[in-house]
Structure 1
Amino acid sequence: MKQFFKIQGIPSRINLFLMGFFLIASGLQAQTNLENDKKLNRETNKILKTAEEELGENDFASAEASYRKAVSKNESSATARYNMANMYYGKEKPAQATSRYKQAAKVAETKEDKHDVFHNMGNSYMDQKKYAEAIEAYKNALRNNPTDEQTRYNLALAKKMLEKEQQENKDQDDKKDDQKDKEKEKEDQNKDKKEDDKGEKDKKDEGDNKENEGGEKEKEPKKEPEKPDDKGEPKDQKQNKDEKGDQEKEQPQQPQPGQLSPQQIKNLLEAMNNEEKKVQDKINAEKAKGAKTKTAKDW
């Protein structure tokens, strides 16, 4: 036979009491946290408003200090970091802006906030000509808001700029390679020329050495150049010329073909004179025989 104990119901009532207590405590804590968050947000927004007013007055240093104060006050505030990044971007400090956009992206909660952060992050990368990073930022922005046509346009522009940059880099690399090839070719030509010049010099030196060696073996006294005589001719040349003239005098002149030699002419004249004398003698003999004596007559 089973026995029942009434005391079994007591723990159930205690548990219910404890559960109710914890629920009430949790609610009160949540309420407290909510109130604290609201208070923190009000204080943060107040600082951000001050920063915006200072920025509107072109007091950049004060605005920067206020934004830093807001970030330090509320580390989970994506708005504080986002607005601070926008301030740097407007002051043409894209690198600092990018750093703050990255911080804002980590704490942003809504898709709308994430889209805005990544979109502006892409713009800051574009200003730094970091097109690959800009493309990735715009893609993240479109993941959170695929309908934003401005983001889509910026993405296309970033891709086009990246392709242009890559082509320019390729052309520049090709140009550098061509320049290196030309420099190497010129260097090789200069090297070959130096080797050729060295070879020519070695050959010349070798020839000079041989001439010097020959000169040492057969040394001859230097001969002074002959002085010209009064007619401007060296003595040797004059002597040779005189000897040649004497030889020409001693040797009879040789007749040229078709001409009589002097001796032949002489012999011919003597023969003609002899013939003429014979004829004259004969005439004279005949006259002596039959002619009368006449006085001489001048012709």
Structure 2
Amino acid sequence: MRKLLFCTILSIGIPFVVLAQEANPDIRSGNKLYKDQKYTDSEIEYRKGIQKDKKSIESFYNLGNSLYQQKKYKEAAEEFEKAATLTDDKDKLASVYHNMGNSYYQAEDYGKSIDAYKKSLKNRPSDNDTRFNLALAQQKLQQQQQQQQQQDQNQDKKDQKDQQQQQDQKDKKDQQKPQQQQQKQQELSKEAAQQILDSYSQDEKEVQEKVKEQQQAGQRHLEKDW
């Protein structure tokens, strides 16, 4: 499989570099540092150039390339977005959108990557490198969507399983409640019965004591009569 094709400042950036050298020494310095692969230093120079001329497509475009080389893909894409608003030149726009597509691709934002590649092809329809990258991005997006769909299905199954477990636990508790209530009622019935028996026993004891007292009293009366 062919690797993802990238257009960098060393190729598509050359027209911008030539234009920039006459107007902005910061860009010229940044380009030299970029070619020496000193990307952090070149970023600083390009940002200086932007401060001096905020409408310089060269500064934003080259800054995007510098950030890309530092693997700051989202930041790079943002700079390419800015660069795209600063020119109507189709060839420059094609280059900007191509690199923008590469940045979004590396950031795994394949939807935006596809959009950028399509815009690049709109401005330069004959670019087979961009067309190839577009096909790669479309393939990646399809894989990403399939993975997301599978994750969603797995999550749905997990949620259903969790809900079923919760329902089973609830049903089990609901089944236990009548049993517990019945057990309590039985315990109360036994306790009440015992209280009644105790009450009867106490009453009987009191009656027997009264009878005994009456018998003893009657016997004392008889003894007096004698």
TM bin (shorter chain): 0.7 to 0.9
Distance, in Å, in 2 between the alignment partners of 1:58 and 1:160 is 32
> CA offsets per residue over residues 87-137 of structure 1, 9 Å max, x none?
000110111111110111111232111111000000100111111111110
The Cα of 1:59 is off from its aligned counterpart by 4.3
Which stretch of structure 1 is more off in the superposition, 67-76 or 190-199?
67-76
> CA offsets per residue over residues 10-63 of structure 1, 9 Å max, x none?
xxxxxxxxxxxxxxxxxxxxxxxxxxxx9986132x432211223344544432
Match of 1:284 in 2: none
Match of 1:295 in 2: none
TM-score by length of structure 1 reads 0.56
Distance, in Å, in 2 between the alignment partners of 1:192 and 1:176 is 24
Helix, strand or coil: the match of 2:192?
helix
Within the candidate set 75, 93, 96, 2:54 is matched to 75
Match of 2:134 in 1: 155
Within the candidate set 63, 66, 70, 1:84 is matched to 63
Cα RMSD (Å): 2.3
User: Is 1:43 paired with 2:5?
Assistant: no
Distance, in Å, in 2 between the alignment partners of 1:182 and 1:141 is 48
Runs of 4+ in 1 over 6 A off after TM superposition: none
Distance, in Å, in 1 between the alignment partners of 2:59 and 2:71 is 19
The Cα of 1:70 is off from its aligned counterpart by 2.1
- Relative to 1, partners in 2 of residues 1:75 and 1:114: Cα closer, same or farther, differing over 3 Å? same
The Cα of 1:171 is off from its aligned counterpart by 1.4
Contact residue 98 and residue 121 of structure 1 kept, 8 A: yes
AA of the residue aligned to 1:206: Q
> CA offsets per residue over residues 231-287 of structure 1, 9 Å max, x none?
xxxxxxxxxxxxxxxxxxxxxxxxxxxxxxxxxxxxxxxxxxxxxxxxxxxxxxxxx
Within the candidate set 109, 119, 122, 2:98 is matched to 119
Matches of residues 85-234 of structure 1 in structure 2 within 5 Å? Answer: 85-219=64-198
Matches of residues 17-36 of structure 1 in structure 2 within 5 Å? Answer: none
Which has more radius of gyration? 1
Structure holding more helix per residue: 2
Contact residue 94 and residue 124 of structure 1 kept, 8 A: yes
Distance, in Å, in 2 between the alignment partners of 1:71 and 1:86 is 14
Match of 1:238 in 2: none
Match of 1:13 in 2: none
Unaligned runs of 5+ in 1: 1-37, 222-299
Distance, in Å, in 1 between the alignment partners of 2:96 and 2:76 is 11
Contact residue 82 and residue 100 of structure 1 kept, 8 A: yes
Match of 2:211 in 1: none
User: Is 1:55 paired with 2:34?
Assistant: yes
Distance, in Å, in 2 between the alignment partners of 1:204 and 1:76 is 85
Distance, in Å, in 2 between the alignment partners of 1:108 and 1:47 is 20
AA of the residue aligned to 1:137: A
